């Protein structure tokens, strides 16, 4: 791991000469921050996560990482700022329930119990405990599973088609062809190239659809977590502590 961290630090030091380098540097900052978080070196994690540019696509993950780091360090007031910024800039993010939970915990720790309860209630509103929601989740899970099978079959069919195409379309050597057949041979070559290109595009489309299905699956799994239990516990804890004061 030490070698990997050293390599990432070298990437962070790359000059901002090219756009590709800039993206690589920003990605390296995020990975360094999350790596230090995993090994519980939270101050170092904060140092690198704070360097991620607000214009970079990884910025929301950096904000969420900062919230977690400050929470682990029990710097609850400091955690509020990046988490509130996250909600302001990315209100439709799939990580919003997690941010609500972290903010609820932070406000609970700094004894702002009503604010804590308000964020826990937002989680409750996102995940209503009703049979319609559960049925919807089950139906979507089945549909996603079916789509995955169909696309996997399509990819297999494309591979078979490609192999058959290569086997069946043989182009004779131009050395032994009469002149009047050279043009026909060139047309055949173009047709084969076009077909192979089309098959390659279909492969790419299949990969893209599989990625989208994987994303939907992750969203469904995240949605199916028992966020309500976390929120209910937070509300109960906040009400109990409020009564003790």
CATH assignment at residue 76: 1.25.40.10
Residue 108 clears pLDDT 80, i.e. is over it: yes
In a domain, 105, yes or no: no
Cα(118)–Cα(234) distance, rounded to whole angstroms? 10
Q: Which segment, 20-24, 44-48, 167-171, 213-217, is predicted with the most confidence on average?
A: 44-48
Domain that holds residue 191: 131-225
Residues 154 and 220 in one domain: yes
14-18, 127-131, 165-169: range with highest mean pLDDT: 127-131
| Per-residue pLDDT tens over the stretch 80-106 | 999 999 999 999 998 999 999 999 999
15 & 86 share domain: yes
Query: In terms of Cα–Cα distance, which of 24, 85, 91 is closest to 57?
Result: 24
Give the model's pLDDT for residue 18.
47
> How sure is the predictor about 240, in pLDDT bands with cuts at 50, 70 and 90?
confident
Residue 54 inside a domain? The answer is yes
Mean pLDDT of 201-217: 65
Residue 116's pLDDT band, with cuts at 50, 70 and 90, is very high
In a shared domain, residues 159 and 211: yes
Mean pLDDT of the region 149-161: 64
Does 165 have pLDDT greater than 80? Answer: no
For 74: left if phi > 0, alpha if psi spans -120 to 50, otherwise beta; the answer is: left
In-domain check, residue 231: no
Determine the Cα–Cα distance for residues 113 and 105; give it in Å rounded to an integer. Answer: 10
Residue 34: partners with Cβ closer than 8 Å, 6 or more residues away? 45, 49, 61, 65
Q: How confident is the model at residue 111 (pLDDT cuts 50, 70, 90)?
A: very high
Domain count, the chain: 2
Are the beta carbons of 169 and 193 closer than 8 angstroms?
A: no
Q: Which of 45, 63, 93 is the last residue of a domain?
A: 93
pLDDT in tens, 34-65: 888 999 999 999 998 999 989 988 999 999 99
Asked whether residue 126 is assigned to any structural domain, the reply reads: no
Annotate 108-134 with DSSP letters as a single string: HHTT-HHHHHHHHHHHHHHS---HHHH
Q: What value does the mean pLDDT take over residues 20-41? A: 81
């Amino acid at each position: 791991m030490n070698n990997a961290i050293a390599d990432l630090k070298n990437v962070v030091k790359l000059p901002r000469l090219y756009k590709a380098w800039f993206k690589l540097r920003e990605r390296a900052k995020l990975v360094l921050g999350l790596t230090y978080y995993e090994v519980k070196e939270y101050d170092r994690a904060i140092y690198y996560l704070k360097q991620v540019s607000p214009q970079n696509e990884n910025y929301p993950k950096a904000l969420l990482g900062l919230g977690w780091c400050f929470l682990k360090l029990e710097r609850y007031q400091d955690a509020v700022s990046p988490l509130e910024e996250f909600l302001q800039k990315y209100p439709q993010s799939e990580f919003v329930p997690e941010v609500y939970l972290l903010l609820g915990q932070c406000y609970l720790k700094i004894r702002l119990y009503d604010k804590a309860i308000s964020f826990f209630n937002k989680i409750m509103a996102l995940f209503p405990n009703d049979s319609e929601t559960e049925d919807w989740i089950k139906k979507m899970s089945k549909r996603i599973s079916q789509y995955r099978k169909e696309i996997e079959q399509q990819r297999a069919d494309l591979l078979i088609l490609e192999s058959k195409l290569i086997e069946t379309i043989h182009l004779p050597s131009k050395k032994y062809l009469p002149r009047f057949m050279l043009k026909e041979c060139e047309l055949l070559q173009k047709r084969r190239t076009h077909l192979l290109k089309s098959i390659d595009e279909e492969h790419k489309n299949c990969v893209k659809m599989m990625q989208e299905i994987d994303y939907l699956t992750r969203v469904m799994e995240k949605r199916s977590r028992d966020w309500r239990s976390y929120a209910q516990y937070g509300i109960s804890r906040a009400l109990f502590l409020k009564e003790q004061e």
